[in-house]
Amino acid sequence: MFQRILFVALTFLIALSSRLSAEATVAIGYQPGSRANATFRLPTVPSPVQGDAASRGKWLVISGTADPASGGLGKLSNDQLPRSADQPAENFFFAPATPGGRLRLELDRSTEIAQIRTYSWHPRERAPQVYTVYGCDQQEVSSGGKLLENDESVQLKPSGTIDPASCGWTKIATVDTRRDGIGHGGQVGVVISASDHSVNDHSVNDHSVNDQAIGHYRYLLFDIHPTRPDARFSNTFFSEIDILDADADVTPAKPIATPDIVTYAIEEGGYEFTLDTSECPDLTRWADQELAPVVQQWYPKIAEMLASDDYEAPHDFQIRISSSMDGVAATSGTQVTCSANWYRRNLRGEAKGATVHELVHVVQQYGQSRRTNRRAARTPGWVVEGIADYVRWHLYEPASAGGGVAGRRSRTLQYDASYRDTAAFLAWVITNGNPDLLAKLNAAARSGTYSAAFWKAATGKTVDELATAWHADLEN
Ligand SMILES: [Zn+2]
């Protein structure tokens, strides 16, 4: 709300100045870190494009110090995106503990600008964007067709404390994504465009623009501020800046290709998922040919076997194979992260089954009940993991002998020892007179009503009675 008021005020000020502009509007898209990947698919704003006007432009630092650890100005409009959240060499940013600075973009010609789009990606406070952007049209301010750099009324390099608006620049928009509550890590996309209102009287003069364009400019000046002036590392990681020419026929803009991040549709159920192997291209082919079909087949199956009242399994989810992850795999929300090192060693063995286990977690979402109901019970970890391993070892890989549990002595197996031990117990209970146990257990866990009393209600026996009978059966 505040932002909108600011824009109305700002437009008023611009309207009072001699250089008028249509009202610019700012749209902000945010993807939290858990869901962000190199496709930069953001809610409410478009993904970065290639072949836009900025990719033919020249960037210059007018004031401030670029961080030598950054990828430099060449990364701003090179039509390439970072592959992960904290990739300094694929972004541009100002040096630590400096108050930001000014960047100038010189387009290859005076351009009717439809949109300015800025994208950033960082795991922490360097994701938000705080800047003011100005425009200057060389042809407009020149006399006799040639601009003189020492023209006192126009400064094409307004450094330091000089107000650009006082020396030939038109303020286009002020952006502060922190006002939208974006203070933490993730991906941020900002789209500045002309208002879709028709042009108001006060902006109609020889500098007026049509209602499709921000204005006609040769130069853009970004006056950039740190996101947290009190923090040493708070200069934004700018990943890509796109400038959309109002004449789309001249500049067709295509989404930036990310061949190792692929979105797959699952026909049954209308689900979709992305498989991200951008950190380990050697696994892209395996993921596409071996893993994706398993996910397409098993996700809807798992969603169906773990259905419960008033619940829909997540419509979309992400699987990222990470070169920096230790361990095997983990799921947070709808983001599955797998260790590239472990997967490489287990491509023929457990890699696909481990992924099926994680798909169960994507469907489970047992924490949801506690977000809406403070009295909902937390389902014990051994139940959560036991269900995931039951689906994996007993349904997906039935030839595995329960993941090797079948040969073990009963005294080495405890029903609440989690993972494949609990899975073996669940399998025994299910095949011994309780075919709907999985559905009941899942429903109790998801609604936050699971307790030790569940077993008696669901099977007529306590969990200890069931375990004793299971052990006796194993010894026979
Ligand atoms: Zn698990």
Q: Which residue has the tokens 């230790």?
A: 326
Query: Are 292 and 381 within one domain?
Result: yes
Query: Are 229 and 208 within one domain?
Result: yes
Query: Are 247 and 272 within one domain?
Result: no
Last residue of a domain, one of 229, 255, 281: 255
* pLDDT confidence of residue 14: 39
Q: Identify the CA nearest to 56 among candidates 218, 172, 249, 212.
A: 218
Residue 9 has pLDDT above 60, yes or no: no
Query: Are 113 and 236 within one domain?
Result: yes
For residues 221 and 309, give the distance between their C-alpha atoms in angstroms, rounded to a whole number: 55
Query: Are 87 and 235 within one domain?
Result: yes
pLDDT, the chain, mean = 87
Strands 24-32 and 186-194: antiparallel
Last residue of a domain, one of 255, 286, 303: 255
The secondary element (H helix, E strand) that includes residue 360 is helix 351-364
For residues 258 and 83, give the distance between their C-alpha atoms in angstroms, rounded to a whole number: 9
Query: Are 86 and 13 within one domain?
Result: yes
Query: Are 216 and 265 within one domain?
Result: no
Query: Are 52 and 81 within one domain?
Result: yes
> Ligand 1 centre and the CA of 373: distance in Å?
24
Lowest mean pLDDT among 122-126, 254-258, 332-336, 344-348: 254-258
For residues 180 and 44, give the distance between their C-alpha atoms in angstroms, rounded to a whole number: 14
Query: The CATH number of the domain where 268 resides is what?
Result: 1.10.390
> Ligand 1 centre and the CA of 244: distance in Å?
45
Q: Which residue has the tokens 């400038």?
A: 243
> Ligand 1 centre and the CA of 333: distance in Å?
12
Query: Are 304 and 397 within one domain?
Result: yes
Query: Are 134 and 186 within one domain?
Result: yes
Instruction: Write out pLDDT tens, residues 383-427.
Output: 999 999 999 999 999 999 999 998 888 889 999 999 999 999 999
Q: How many helices (H) and strands (E) are present in the chain, helices listed first?
A: 13, 15
Last residue of a domain, one of 255, 270, 302: 255
| Token reading at 231 | 């923090």
Task: Provide the Cα torsion 137, 143, 144, 145; round to 10°.
Answer: -10
Query: Are 98 and 120 within one domain?
Result: yes
Domain region containing 278: 261-475
Domain count, the chain: 2
Q: Which residues of 235-249 are buried (b: 16+ CB within 10 A; e: fewer)?
A: bbbbbbbbbbbbeee
Instruction: Write out pLDDT tens, residues 355-383.
Output: 999 999 999 999 988 888 888 999 999 99
SS3 312: coil
| Token reading at 300 | 């809807």
> Ligand 1 centre and the CA of 104: distance in Å?
49
> Ligand 1 centre and the CA of 379: distance in Å?
13
> Ligand 1 centre and the CA of 86: distance in Å?
26
| Token reading at 264 | 């797959």
Query: Are 361 and 417 within one domain?
Result: yes
Query: The CATH number of the domain where 209 resides is what?
Result: 2.60.120.260
